[in-house]
Structure 1
Amino acid sequence: MESTPIDDACRSAAAADYSDTVAPSSHGIEEPVIRKIERNAEICPDKIAVTFRKNALSYGALISSARQLAAGLEYSGVSHRSRVAVVMYPCPQLVVSLLAIHLLGATYVPIDPSFPAARIEMILEDVQPAVILRSSEDSDTIIGRIPEHFSALLQCYDHVFSRGQNPLIPFREHPLKLADESHIFFTSGTTGRPKGAISSQLNLAHGMSSSAQCFELNRSHSILSVAGSSFSISTFELLSLLAAGGAISIVERSDILQIDRLFSAAAEVTVWHFVPTLLSRLIEFLEAEPRRVARLKNLQRILTGGDNVPPDLLCKIRSLLPWVHLYVNYGASETSCMVTYWPVADLAPLKTKIGRPQKNVRLLVLDKNGKEVGKGQSGELFVSSPGVIAGYLNREDLNQQKFREIDGRRYFATGDMTRVDEAGNYEMLGREDFQIQLNGNRIELLEVERTLKGIPGIKDCVVAAKCLNEESNSAALVAYILPDGSVGATVSDIKDKARGLLPEYMVPSLYLEIESVPTNHNGKVDRAKLPAPSDCRALQSNEELPLSNNIEIKVANIWRELLGANSVHANSQFFELGGDSISAVRLITKISTECLVNLSIADIVSNTTVRQQSALIERRQSNQDITDSASLTHDPGYLQLKSGRNDISPLLLINGVVEYLELAKTLSTDRSVYAIYLPEEMDLIIKGAASTAATTTDSIAGITELYLTVITSLQPKGPYYLAGKSFGGIIAIEVARELEKLGHEVAFTGLLDTVTPEAFTAHQKFHFRVTQHIKNIFKQGPRYLLERLNSRRSRTTHRNSLPSSIAHDCDEESINIRVRHQVRKNAIFTTRLSRIQRPVVLIKARDRKHLYGEKPSKDLGWNKYCENLITYEAPGNHRSLLMPGQAEHVARYLELHI
């Protein structure tokens, strides 16, 4: 493929920048990375270079495979300066492809196979590759994402590799210069189109050698590769140790979600490189069982960066792994990975720094006028080094903006605000522009905004990372929407369209309506003035309809009181306005009191709008004696959440309805999915101690008997598939036991973040509660006591501010809920589990807090009872495990067994 004038200009700029500043020999950068790897293969051909899925590839086999693939690629039309798109997940084939492309003097362009088709098309249009290389494993997924006009370029790795075996087309050595293009990584772009960062062989060689020197990496080391193929840091994980003569171990994508599998893989290497969120998971895994530390005796280096690194994480590492060399690093695609490093020597660092420049790197901190600031003053960070890339593909406007000549050297303007302390260490303060790091992912907010503005119905929008409530420490991507006044798209439509154009990590999770976009005195968008999510009206999917009768007005007023919603109309959706299982129970209680009608959770789930609930209330009032509010005969205790085949057993999700909605929607199964619950529990909440359920549900035996009645009325015979979250898991275990006693087959039992019953008993002990308070005071200091005091004052103030009638209702409701809570505790405290011989699947929340005083453990105590326990770990905490964005992970694990 012929190069363009822009390409040539970029290459010339890279070569000129390097030759004008330093001589290659003075920096030790005398050859491209591929040449170092070839030489390592000549010296130690049998040494292990790459491991994956317990299979090993030697240096000799690696280079031999790369040369064979290079011959096949050349036969397919790839030549010097061609660009080759590689659509693969990390695997040995990806490494061989990268090396083969470099052997030909061509350019490696990795594309994540999970990207939306629209994003892949934009990248291919910019690159105009000679070949698009795919793996054989993901062929169906990839073929469907490649635009038709590029499909002729799509080739299977296996076919190209086999073609390279032809003796008539042997591999030929190609000259390779440091000024040649190495790779192009596409990052989030402010224009709504991803931008391609063009790196040269010089940039790559500098990045690998400089980092290897700073972190003292050598042929005795091995590193775990976890980065996705589309992230520029993957070059460090895939190439730095190969260039140094060491080894790399590639983690399968599914294993990254399994903390035990990830830890097992990490225990086999000497160098870790993780973003803070992933590293934090591993450290928590170590803390949960300190004996695991002994498995890390070979670990020598831990590198972390790419996002804010919490100081407490560094403290934990220093405490758990004191012999390990710990580093914080900083860099960008435009600087060929890392440019700074900070050896964490302090046992308890109070701040996180990005440290000092790596070898051959110069840093400047400039104010808005381009003047260098003094120590302790903040400014934008500028980087100059042989690693700074030539520029962006087809973006001359951005090249002029981001790459600048200062005192005869070429610098990259990072957009990151920093300052230098008295010791000369750099400290990161945040972004100067609209680019953020969220969960280790680099996101251009303007790209997300541009995408959303292209959706009909949206006049303008601002996207920001926000904590959704005061109790949360983690941010989510939130879209503030200014509607254009037309009917427009629903929230579901907006999300669907965004997912078709953006990677999942760039799709906002919450959409809020605003009347105007906040601006500063210069008329620019002022993100600091965006309201808190709790102060905004969440966008609703349904068309607004006016309230038409007294019952609708009464129901709407109840919603406003329970949900704090400003605008409730006849077509409003209860769960879109923030309704959850707790508020649904309160809604049922209110309707029972004010409308003299009993509704069930199933009624609320099946009738989610004001109009639907009002119509149901009206029907119940006309069809029953309104004085017989205790009647539960209309409630069967189950609700179908997902329809499926009638000839196979359904999946029964026990002890809940609302919290299982997202899971049922996400499950890919031919089975019907039902929520199973007890109508008696609702009667208990409505009536409190006066309910007969106060005695029938105060033991696990009584609860099990009631659930057996509901389940067998729905499904008279097995095989049964049972699962339950939290307390529902304990019920699933006991119901399964009773079903087997009756001669039925139980084919599946699932526990969703369920701890064993004895864990709850710690709450009965006064000394446990005191100990917990002391621990929190020790960890958080006086702040913990102040927060507890302020929280108690806030609740008291809120109670005193309520009208007396509402306060009375709250008192009665609270008493009844406390009665129900006590009845539930009685059932738990009297539970005595026995051994379980059949397989049990436990799906544990990865970020769970130890809510009930249980000792931290991988199995939540179930190995004591289960002879065949299968454990998975899914993202989220105990409350969020089945919420949107996280329920799909639970669904994938369930699908393996049902």
Structure 2
Amino acid sequence: MAPARDEIRVEKREAELTAKNASNSLDTQSSATNSEQVSLIDGGMTVPHRILENSRLSPNKTAIIFDGQEHSYRELVLAAARIGEVLKARGVTPGDRIAVLMQPGYTLVCGLLAIHFSGCTYVPIDPTFPKTRIDMIFEDVAPSVIIFDPNHYSAPGSTFGSTFSNRLLDITQLEEHDGLDPEFSRPTEISLDDESHIFFTSGTTGRPKGAVSTHQNLAHGMFSSIRCFGLKPEMSILSVAGASFSISTFELLAMLACGGHTVIARRHDILDISRLFQLARTVEVWHFVPTLLARIIDHVERAPDRAGLLSNLKCILTGGDNVPPDLLARIRNLLPEVNLYVNYGASETNCMVTYWPVEQPKPNKTKIGFPQQNVQLQVLDSNRRPVPIGEAGELFVASPGVITGYLHREDLNFEKFYRHEGIRYFASGDIVRAHEDGTFEMLGREDFQIQLNGNRIELLEVEAAVKRAKGIKNCVVAAKQLQSEGSSKTLVAYVILEQDQSPGVSEIKSFLSSQLPAYMVPSMYLAVEQIPTNHNGKIDRINLPDPAICTILQSRQREPLAGEIEHRIAAIWHDLLKVDSIHAHTDFFETGGDSIAAVRAVARLADTYRCQLTISDIVENTTVRKMGNRISQQQSNTDRKAATTPLLPDGCIPLRHGDPSLSPLLLINGVVEYLHLAKSIGSNRPIYALFLPEEVDLILKGATSDAVESTSSIDGVSRLYLSLIKKVQPNGPYLLVGKSFGGIIAIEVSRALVKSGETVDLIGLLDTIVPDTFTAHKKLSFRLGEHLRRTADEGPAYLLGKIKQRLVTRKSSSGEDGASSKDSETDNIRIRHKTRKTAILSTRLDSIEMPLTLIKASDRKFLYGERPQKDLGWGKYARKLVIHEVPGEHHSMLNEENAPNVARIIEKII
């Protein structure tokens, strides 16, 4: 009966919403006059005046929480007044435009209010923007003052010309004005028609365009959303948007305008999902783009008890990009009592203009919903004539929030703003469909503008920049879904190269980074011979080729192979890595090489050329040409490596040569996966990667290797590593870090070192789970349960795949079809895995008295039968356990993107 009651409740709620919004449907829209529109604004007040009034009514109430510090309304207004006095002393007058180069924080809000209290226009600029983009914005705005924070933007005086360098104001150097009081420091009188702010968005010409808003636009955007989403003075919101995005005004000011408070996240809080969750659980309102919302929902689902920590949460708002229906269903299941809304808007409309209450437990599509109060929507065809309900057309928006226009762009103003029956509409460029119930459904873009991770991107602007890069003749940029799982997309550039040119990706990205914000720089570059066109000769973006069948540009300049050695190396790499087009500067690890492939490559090359090569040779000589030179040195006896490099035992590879007087950081059980981590750690300590030569022998010889016996127990592996470590570093203090299996070795080696009287200052576990977990695999009931669960989730294809895999394995092990003779290397790898598994399953841990540092992947999948636990099971063994969580899953936490997060934690300890 429960489902039936749920359906009745949903139907009743939908009927109420339909009746409530019927007046806003296409066939019954009203044409509100300007005076009627203004009357909806809270008492005719501007947003800054409303915040000032809230300060007068509740001076000691918390207004902002940032970096753990609470700031009251009185403190906020006093700080804004202080900045305002400095601006006046600089000669600023009402109507001037003030640029702000800062990241979101308490001081930014103070500066924003100071600008408004002074009657000036707020122009936020992301301090990470390239200099060329900032220069364009300055040229358009001609700011009277440029407020900056040196912690966010260093030495701006050296990058701006003399015109702007004398207008800089370091906000950290302002003098205190303790005598100021809101009662005696009244702001400049401002009206709803005065200019409020300018946000710059991507432009099709390659030049960003400034959207100019008034205080009426801002006030409508704030107060309409406050009413729509039921925001109240006792609530708070978490602000995560960058200052240069228009939605930041809603996140920073909406709660202050209604008397609540705002919690502002720092940039690194947003990157660290555990820290973001700790902030999110303290507020009543979330507003996240879908990708960030999905991350935090993933985090909650991984530990069911986390949902219970969200008792404060009342409302979730999401938009700014495609919102997958399955994400909405997961939220509905996880947080059934929370009000969930999909919203839609743009910089040109001052944030949200629609809302869709998600009431269904499992929506099969996502809508942008109903118009907010006093918002009129029209769906028009290419001739700007209304289309029937149910048919697709371009969305036109009218409301008091629609901006006055673009700065210095009369041509674009004529194109994008349209007056119909006395009402001024904004042509959004979005293709939608209206439904009978008054809701609207987003179908896509009319032009070449997309929303990606909440950022609006003009594809033509990106394309114009890519075409200016050296060696590129033509280009088309698109957002592509590169993996079948999930809905996230990647910005991909299809490029036609100039004849006889082969630019490297690193050079292209470096050039684009000087021209575009980071979120507009494509991640992948695909070389194509031609770009598809339709019958009209226009680019056919729908039929752009699948990235999987295109040639991916590599980060190094292509150069043909030279000589027999390079051709032989390329042939071995091709066989191992299954990649084509290997050239002289192809990088082994960038094209898919891992530790095991490196062992195989070194063994084959050493056997072919009868020379002594080690893993360190391929780590230090990652390209075909460098490895060829290394082999040539060996053959001609001109190898000077031993004379210039400190003698290290086999099994130790220096990833960084540092101060020899400092204890090295020892990264246990691996080489390749630690490369990005070693590069990211900001320390002058030497960093060594350690591996067992015995395991290399096991990979090469399989069952005939003596290492089968010596490495089949944790005790045996630990003794071998202890011997290796004492050769590398005879005396402590020791710093040991190990990923996965390496973490267990770090613990056991540390026990032995401490027992012998040595000091161990760091035992770091990188996403290591307790060995007990693996014993679940020995239980038939667990294995059957897992197969049944995955068959239910993934369908019969999963089960058929497992059966096929088992048949192939049996053929290989029995030698049918010559499999064992053809691929003895595969058999050796299987022996190595079996030996490792035997070691883990035979482990019995004792209590651990030493301090442990666990760095856990926030997106880890629980693959080994363990229950999702924050401490990965270590809490019952270690009393002194410190846990950190970093972005990524088990296999990606140390990749180029995520390794810096791990490095920052290790840096603080060492």
Normalising by structure 2, we get a TM-score of: 0.88
Is the contact made by 2:448 and 2:459 (CA closer than 8 Å) also made in structure 1? yes
Hey, what does 1:50 align to over in structure 2?
64
2: CA distance, partners of 1:617 / 1:130 = 63
Tell me if 1:819 matches 2:831: yes
2: CA distance, partners of 1:547 / 1:27 = 70
Hey, what does 2:687 align to over in structure 1?
673
1: CA distance, partners of 2:636 / 2:844 = 46
Matches for 1:658-807 after TM superposition, within 5 Å: 658-778=672-792, 780=793, 783-786=794-797, 789=800
Hey, what does 1:838 align to over in structure 2?
850
1: CA distance, partners of 2:199 / 2:850 = 49
Among candidates 435, 443, 452, match of residue 466 of structure 2: 452
Unaligned runs of 5+ in 2: 1-30, 638-646
Closer/same/farther in 2, CA of residues 150 and 622 from structure 1, 3 Å limit: closer
Tell me if 1:462 matches 2:473: no
Tell me if 1:562 matches 2:592: no
Matches for 1:182-261 after TM superposition, within 5 Å: 182-261=196-275
Closer/same/farther in 2, CA of residues 828 and 435 from structure 1, 3 Å limit: farther
1: CA distance, partners of 2:513 / 2:562 = 37
Is the contact made by 1:222 and 1:241 (CA closer than 8 Å) also made in structure 2? yes
Q: CA deviation at 1:82?
A: 0.7
Hey, what does 2:294 align to over in structure 1?
280
Is the contact made by 1:342 and 1:356 (CA closer than 8 Å) also made in structure 2? yes
Is the contact made by 1:367 and 1:373 (CA closer than 8 Å) also made in structure 2? yes
Among candidates 431, 437, 453, match of residue 439 of structure 1: 453
Hey, what does 2:877 align to over in structure 1?
865
Among candidates 659, 664, 683, match of residue 650 of structure 1: 664
1: CA distance, partners of 2:562 / 2:107 = 64
Hey, what does 1:364 align to over in structure 2?
378
* SS of aligned partner of 2:388: coil
Is the contact made by 1:49 and 1:62 (CA closer than 8 Å) also made in structure 2? yes
Is the contact made by 2:211 and 2:403 (CA closer than 8 Å) also made in structure 1? yes
Is the contact made by 1:21 and 1:409 (CA closer than 8 Å) also made in structure 2? no
Is the contact made by 2:291 and 2:488 (CA closer than 8 Å) also made in structure 1? no
Q: CA deviation at 1:491?
A: 2.4
Among candidates 351, 355, 377, match of residue 369 of structure 2: 355
Bigger mean CA offset, 368-377 vs 412-421: 368-377
Q: CA deviation at 1:142?
A: 5.6
Tell me if 1:882 matches 2:888: no
Closer/same/farther in 2, CA of residues 427 and 834 from structure 1, 3 Å limit: farther
Q: Which letter does structure 1 place at the counterpart of 2:772?
A: E
Residues 697-732 of structure 1: CA deviation (Å, up to 9, x unaligned): 111111112222222222222222221222222222
1: CA distance, partners of 2:780 / 2:390 = 49
Q: CA deviation at 1:621?
A: 8.0
Is the contact made by 1:469 and 1:534 (CA closer than 8 Å) also made in structure 2? no
Q: CA deviation at 1:20?
A: 5.3
Among candidates 103, 106, 127, match of residue 113 of structure 1: 127
Is the contact made by 2:381 and 2:393 (CA closer than 8 Å) also made in structure 1? yes
Residues 369-416 of structure 1: CA deviation (Å, up to 9, x unaligned): 434333333332221111111222223333233222334322222222
Closer/same/farther in 2, CA of residues 474 and 19 from structure 1, 3 Å limit: closer
Hey, what does 1:627 align to over in structure 2?
none
Is the contact made by 1:653 and 1:674 (CA closer than 8 Å) also made in structure 2? yes
Q: CA deviation at 1:48?
A: 2.1
Is the contact made by 2:41 and 2:223 (CA closer than 8 Å) also made in structure 1? no
Q: CA deviation at 1:178?
A: 1.1
Number of aligned residue pairs: 866
Hey, what does 2:9 align to over in structure 1?
none
Closer/same/farther in 2, CA of residues 750 and 772 from structure 1, 3 Å limit: same
Q: Which letter does structure 2 place at the counterpart of 1:785?
A: P
Hey, what does 1:65 align to over in structure 2?
79
Closer/same/farther in 2, CA of residues 700 and 26 from structure 1, 3 Å limit: closer
Closer/same/farther in 2, CA of residues 895 and 187 from structure 1, 3 Å limit: farther
* SS of aligned partner of 1:329: strand
Percent identical among aligned pairs is 52
* SS of aligned partner of 2:784: helix
Bigger mean CA offset, 38-47 vs 232-241: 38-47
Is the contact made by 1:120 and 1:146 (CA closer than 8 Å) also made in structure 2? no
Bigger mean CA offset, 18-27 vs 113-122: 18-27
Q: CA deviation at 1:847?
A: 1.7
Residues 817-861 of structure 1: CA deviation (Å, up to 9, x unaligned): 111111111111122233333332222222221122221122222
Hey, what does 1:13 align to over in structure 2?
none
2: CA distance, partners of 1:798 / 1:48 = 65
Hey, what does 1:430 align to over in structure 2?
444
Q: Which letter does structure 2 place at the counterpart of 1:304?
A: T
Q: CA deviation at 1:201?
A: 0.6
Q: CA deviation at 1:562?
A: 3.3
Is the contact made by 1:699 and 1:826 (CA closer than 8 Å) also made in structure 2? yes
Q: CA RMSD in A?
A: 3.2
2: CA distance, partners of 1:873 / 1:444 = 35
Is the contact made by 2:505 and 2:556 (CA closer than 8 Å) also made in structure 1? no
Bigger mean CA offset, 362-371 vs 846-855: 362-371
2: CA distance, partners of 1:136 / 1:620 = 52
Q: Which letter does structure 1 place at the counterpart of 2:796?
A: L
* SS of aligned partner of 2:775: helix
Q: CA deviation at 1:236?
A: 0.7
Hey, what does 1:5 align to over in structure 2?
none
Normalising by structure 1, we get a TM-score of: 0.89
* SS of aligned partner of 2:382: coil
Write out the 4+ residue segments of structure 1 that deviate beyond 6 Å after TM superposition: 592-598, 618-623, 790-800
Closer/same/farther in 2, CA of residues 613 and 139 from structure 1, 3 Å limit: closer
Tell me if 1:501 matches 2:515: yes
Q: CA deviation at 1:211?
A: 0.6
Residues 203-224 of structure 1: CA deviation (Å, up to 9, x unaligned): 1011011111110112122212
Q: CA deviation at 1:551?
A: 4.4
1: CA distance, partners of 2:76 / 2:875 = 43
Residues 426-447 of structure 1: CA deviation (Å, up to 9, x unaligned): 2222333333333333333333
Residues 448-492 of structure 1: CA deviation (Å, up to 9, x unaligned): 332222222222223333344556754333333322235564322
Is the contact made by 1:223 and 1:237 (CA closer than 8 Å) also made in structure 2? yes
Tell me if 1:849 matches 2:850: no
Q: Which letter does structure 2 place at the counterpart of 1:876?
A: G
Q: Which letter does structure 1 place at the counterpart of 2:885?
A: E
Closer/same/farther in 2, CA of residues 543 and 53 from structure 1, 3 Å limit: closer
Closer/same/farther in 2, CA of residues 95 and 694 from structure 1, 3 Å limit: same
Q: CA deviation at 1:594?
A: 6.7
Residues 305-359 of structure 1: CA deviation (Å, up to 9, x unaligned): 2222222222222222222111111111111000111111112222222111111
Among candidates 827, 837, 841, match of residue 829 of structure 1: 841
1: CA distance, partners of 2:567 / 2:308 = 65
* SS of aligned partner of 1:896: helix
Q: CA deviation at 1:797?
A: 11
Q: CA deviation at 1:793?
A: 6.5
Residues 250-308 of structure 1: CA deviation (Å, up to 9, x unaligned): 22333223333322322222222222222223323332333333333232211122222
Tell me if 1:326 matches 2:337: no
Q: Which letter does structure 1 place at the counterpart of 2:784?
A: V
